[in-house]
Chain A
Amino acid sequence: MAKNLSGDLQVASANRLVDGMVVWLDEAGQWTDRLEHAAVARDKRGAEFLLERARVEAFSVVDPFLVAVAEDEDGTIEPLSLREKIRASGLTFDAIAADAVRYA
């Protein structure tokens, strides 16, 4: 499926103050832990506005910043960089569970 890989599309992200979890700013100006709900800026001006809004709404988060994303034809967005993919999706290996005594 074709993707927009130009890097023009951006979302605003941050870590939640209370627990450090990854969040994104949605259209309503709320921080969400679901990337699919993130507001997408589609040009430079939109991105500047989005970042400014994120900073205004930063009371409950730490250090908002912009993340370049790609968008599928069906509207699914995905970060371009590996770092942001890992922030969005979590560890790329299985962490051991608290009660585990053996590795699979």
Chain B
Amino acid sequence: MPDTHFYRYDGYDRTLVSERVDQFRDQVRRRLAGELTEEQFKPLRLHNGLYLQLHAYMLRIAIPYGTLSSRQLRKLADISRKYDRGYGHFTTRQNLQLNWIKLEDAPDALAALAEVDMHAMQTSGNCIRNVTADHYAGAAIDEIEDPRIWAEIVRQWSTLHPEFTFLPRKFKIAITGSPNDRVAVRVHDIGLRLWRNGQGEVGFEVIVGGGLGRTPMIGKTLREFLPKDELLAYLEATLRVYNRYGRRDNLYKARIKILVHEVGVEKMREEVEAEYAATRDGALKLPAATIEAIARQFAPPVLSPRPAVSGRVVAQRLDDPDFALWLKSNVAPHRVPGYAIVTASLKPAGAPPGDASAAQMDGVADIAEAYSQAELRVSHEQNLIFPHVAVEDLPQVYRSLAALGFAEANVGKITDIIACPGLDYCALANARSIPVAQRISNHFASIARQHDIGDLKIKISGCINACGHHHVGHIGILGVDKNGVELYQISLGGDVDFGRTAIGSILGPAVTADKVVEAVDAIVTTYLDARRDGERFVDTYRRIGAQPFKERVYAAV
């Protein structure tokens, strides 16, 4: 099995994670012995990613920048089998949630994670959360630089950062190294976009104050071009300004987006730049050798030259229409000719979006070892990615995925739904998300029809916290509770594409659960009737506006 082509823990990392496991084991022991109250214990367990949900504890495991080795995925499968109910849920922050962990088992689960250099720190609490990055990183044909090098540098800087452990609220950072934004940089507390300026230098556009939740906002550019080696000092200055001025008086106004909105981006920039001027040449100015040492760990695998066109693939594409559709939707071009990026859809018809059984995780790990350099990515759209697949191996990968139930040719299509766990699991939710996603998925199960409809993203949240990103869905669905009845508010026109990021507009009155499918069907029919050649759903919506959709939906429900 090849070595990994991403960061490997050193002794410092291992000691830190191991000591944290021991510390948490003792905290759990004291809680179970009654030496700690729940009030005392709750922040300790949350600092280790352990939530208490409706039915059980939930462990949220960090998958830094969504990158996994096959060995790590096998361990996740083992942990889910041994300490949970044998399945897990991949999340919109590229993490994995196990929904049935016992408190008494949690330290052992964390110890097992530590064996493969993983943990659950900073997956909860008012700290800098797991940094997300492009799931095509290191393989994308449009990539300027691998964003994971910087995500790892940010990870090392932000892990247990004493100044930023008790921020006004949680803080989410996303990094893309490509012009095609696959991480939604404009709806993060800080979004970082690598780009090349007129002088040929690569640096970051620093975007601040985006976010979803109760008050969705699109981030604003704080710094047009930041030299790469200045990243940490600039981030520290930004976090310091937020920590100083962010509102702690109102939970709902505590995110940095509210601060930026209230003071304006110009004032925010002035404050950050003043702080930065005082600290920019300090310890956080990264030496080139440090950056290079981390970059070396992300050196791409040596991929032997392969034919860009495979006779086997061409033949199967002609013989098998399902395979042909899968090639169109689930396979993306690779930076190296003769290779491809493959997305395993965790959205089989009628399945809970993003869920995988232990057997499926093992199966995906097998495929990664056989065909993709033993590497995997988790996308924020809750799918798994094989980043380095030889084109001539695509038929075998397709067959192997089909055997797992993960070969649905629906990536980017109407059934590639993002959904939060909703009221079936979550203590914060007001309404269910997964059953709604399942009904929509079953209704639009025909792959041929999905491809006819084209790119259409449905995102479902079970409450206003918007973990299902409904604000930026082409069709967004928000579950609300009205006098004990689940209702679903539909919005249209959301988007996360770079340069077109938009918050969706509410279509009209919320509909009952049993009418959601009819409403979505009416929206799709309106689009199909109105679209011009090659026009995506969201483009048709922008051209014709909400009214035709509204008339059709409310006539149907």
* A residues adjacent to B (C-beta < 8 A): 15, 17-22, 59, 62-63, 80-83, 86-87, 90-93, 95-103
Contacts and interface: CB of A to CB of B under 8 A. Distances in A.
Contact of B352 (A59, A93, A98): A93
B423 A82 contact: yes
B434 interface: yes
Nearest to B57: A20
A101 B360 contact: yes
B57 A19 contact: yes
A96 to B, nearest CB: 5
B404 A86 contact: no
A102 to B, nearest CB: 4
B363 interface: yes
Given A17-B38, A20-B55, 19 more contacts: A17-B31, A18-B102, A18-B103, A19-B102, A19-B103, A20-B101, A20-B102, A83-B54, A83-B423, A86-B54, A87-B54, A92-B432, A93-B435, A96-B351, A96-B355, A98-B358, A99-B357, A101-B357, A101-B359
Nearest to B360: A101
A95 B352 contact: yes
A98 B434 contact: no
Contacts of A63: 38
Contact of B357 (A18, A21, A87, A97): A97
Contacts of A99: 86, 357-359
Nearest to B104: A18
A18 B438 CA distance: 32
A34 to B, nearest CB: 15
A96 B434 CA distance: 13
A20 B160 CA distance: 27
A interface secondary structure, majority: loop
A98 B102 contact: no
Contact of A20 (B86, B103, B435): B103
Contact of A98 (B52, B86, B348, B424): B86
Interface of B: 31-32, 34, 38, 52-57, 80-81, 85-87, 101-104, 348-352, 355-360, 363, 403-405, 423-425, 432, 434-435, 438, 481, 484, 486
B530 to A, nearest CB: 34
A15 B349 CA distance: 33
Given A18-B103, A19-B104, A91-B424, A97 B56 contact: no
B350 A103 contact: yes
B56 A101 contact: no
A59 B34 contact: yes
Nearest to A80: B484
A90 B54 CA distance: 9
A59 B32 CA distance: 9
A99 to B, nearest CB: 5
B86 A92 contact: no
Contact of A22 (B54, B358, B424): B54
A103 B352 CA distance: 10
Most buried by B among A21, A98, A99: A98
Contacts of B352: 93, 95-96
Nearest to B50: A20
Given A82-B423, A92-B432, A15 B403 contact: no
Nearest to B39: A63
Contacts of A87: 54-55
A63 B39 CA distance: 10
A90 B438 CA distance: 17
Contacts of A98: 80-81, 85-87, 357-359
Contacts of B351: 96, 103
A86 B52 contact: no
A17 B32 CA distance: 8
Contacts of A81: 484
